[in-house]
Structure 1
Amino acid sequence: MFLVDGKQLRALAASVSAIAGLALTSHAVAQSVVVRSTGPSAQTYPQGRKLPAGTSVTLKAGDHVTVLDKAGTRVLNGPGTFALNGEVNRDAGGGAQLATMMARTGGSRTRTGAVRGAVSGPVMSAPTGPENIWYIDVSKGGTYCVADPATVLLWRPEKTEEGTGKLLSQDGSSADVTWRAGSALKVWPAASVPVVDGQTYTFSNAVGMPVKIRTMVLAQVPSDELEVAGVIADKGCTAQLDMLANLAQSSQVGG
């Protein structure tokens, strides 16, 4: 029989806790995130829900659930049962598009152009939304996770003509925002209207109704796309989950 003193017991407990933490971390990484859900099972699989690795989703007729997992984004159409095992074949183009959409470097490359009003990046035909999840769509608003408060970019859908608007914070600070003709991006005027965690802002312009924008500042941004999706789901950043869901529309699975 072996006797264990208090010091050894505490050390053993710490080791077990560390191993358990590693196991939980590994489990958390290998999962799926629901980025959009409509139909009879929407309450069972709501937007932002994280599902365990290897689980199966059982859907009813009329269900349309969009998930992001290790295989990429895909739309599951009920009825049917679908295994979320990350083994669905995905074309290389779709994977590259997802990586580009979630990359923080996208903002860095276009920041200079956005400040000067020049055309930023490749021209996309009839864009339906921002090409990067870190851009804030001023035409729709919503809750957005922010990777870097100093480099937030505002995106507008119509960039042919010059555009103007006003950004107003709930604390009373405000700033005019002006896009030059040909530019879809504009740096958030942080000097006048700081980006604050949990703050709500109103953006208004001459066209359309004012929209509400809520910012959630992330303390740390994971490098893995699935982990990023998990973080923004935890923060309730539904606007960015919608962007990921839109990306999946071209690669539907199910029937």
Structure 2
Amino acid sequence: MCLVDTPRKRQGGVRTFAAGMAALAGVMLAGSAVAQSVVVRSTGPSAATYPQGRKLAANASVVLKAGDHVTVLDKAGTRVLSGPGTFTLNGAVNRDQSGGGTALAAMMTRGAGARTRTGAVRGAPTGPVAAPSGPENVWYIDVSKGGTYCVADPATLVLWRPERTDEGTGKLLSQDGSMADLTWRAGSALKVWPAATVPVVDGQTYTFSNAVGKPVKIRTMVLPSVPEDEVEVAAAMAAKGCNAQLDLLANLASAEQSGG
């Protein structure tokens, strides 16, 4: 039998080859995305080289000088890299931290998890509760510090306060003039954002004030979609300038490394 090489056959072969190469490239890119890291805090002489929010490729080498402290987040969790030294981000740099990935996953839980914990604030406190140094969830807004916060779901946005022993009050004022009075029950650190009276608007600035401390500014950045991967979530936060949340992730790393 004589096999004829026609232009149609050649085009089909080219398409098959191109499709195969595209699939291979997709697999390679997916693997790279899973393994990459994001800088969530950086101090020291090399801070300009590794600024907060920088994404680092898989197996990238981080070269640090004396006095450098760079906190990175990858699929294994968070870790503080301290100079001088060279560190390879191969996905194994955090394996020595027991529970690091679990703590990170818990902190980044959103949606139903936030609603469940928020619902718990409606009950009476069962006893004295030690106030943590920061929110236990990266999606909570710390009203004692303010800052720019990325919002996963405006309907489940939560305000967090550090002093939970006594009843607390405050006022939330939007730049558009809408306003709401807030009350935290004794023993509770959480309060649902009053979206019915003060809508959560992308890029909007709000002022929170109470009888204790100075008023703070809160800016909300609503994410159109939220990645499932923790590293990509941190990257999205960095792109929106949500440094308050990146600082919270960095604090988690510091607490884990110090055994706190």
CA shift, 1:63, in A, is 0.6
- 2: CA distance, partners of 1:213 / 1:245: 20
Q: Give 1:159 deviation, angstroms.
A: 0.6
What's 2:46 paired with?
41
Identical positions, percent:
70
Q: Which has the higher contact order (CA 8 A, sep 6+)?
A: 1
Detail structure 1 runs of 4+ shifted over 3 Å in the superposition: 7-26, 117-120, 122-126, 250-253
Distance in 2 separating the partners of 1:76 and 1:242: 15
Question: Aligned match of 2:119 in 112, 124, 128?
Answer: 112
TM superposition shift of 1:57: 0.3
Answering whether residue 80 of structure 2 is matched by residue 67 of structure 1, we say no
Give 1:25 shift: 4.5
Structure 2 unaligned segments of length 5 or more: list them: none
Q: Which residue of 2 aligns with 1:205?
A: 210
- Does 2:7 align with 1:3? yes
1:93 to 99, 102, 106: 99
My pick for the range that moved more, 215-224 or 134-143, is: 215-224
SS of structure 1 residue aligned to 2:66: coil
- Deviates further, 12-21 or 175-184: 12-21
- Count, aligned residues: 251
- With 58-67 and 23-32 compared, the bigger mean Cα shift is at 23-32
Structure 2 residue 108 is matched with structure 1 residue 102: yes
Instruction: State which drifts further: 95-104 or 72-81.
Output: 95-104
**Aligned position for 2:163:** 158
The aligned residue for residue 56 of structure 1 is: 61
Instruction: Work out the CA distance in 1 between the residues paired with 2:149 and 2:17.
Output: 40
CA 1:46–1:119 in 2, change beyond 3 Å: closer, same or farther?
Answer: farther
CA distance in 2, matches of 1:123, 1:93: 27
Measured at CA, do residues 119 and 17 of structure 1 come closer, stay the same or move farther in structure 2, by a change above 3 Å? farther
CA gap 1:118/1:144 in 2 versus in 1, 3 angstroms: farther
Q: Give the structure with higher Rg (CA).
A: 2
The CA distance in 1 between the partners of 2:147 and 2:81, in whole Å, is 25
Q: CA deviation at 1:241?
A: 0.5
Cα 1:44–1:181, aligned 2, differ >3 Å: closer, same or farther?
A: same
- 1:175–1:38 Cα change, 3 Å: same
- Give runs of aligned pairs for residues 1-255 of structure 1, distance below 5 A: 3=7, 15=19, 20=25, 23-88=28-93, 89-104=95-110, 105-114=112-121, 116=122, 118-119=124-125, 125-252=130-257
Q: Does structure 2 conserve the Cα–Cα contact (< 8 Å) formed by 1:117 and 1:182? A: no
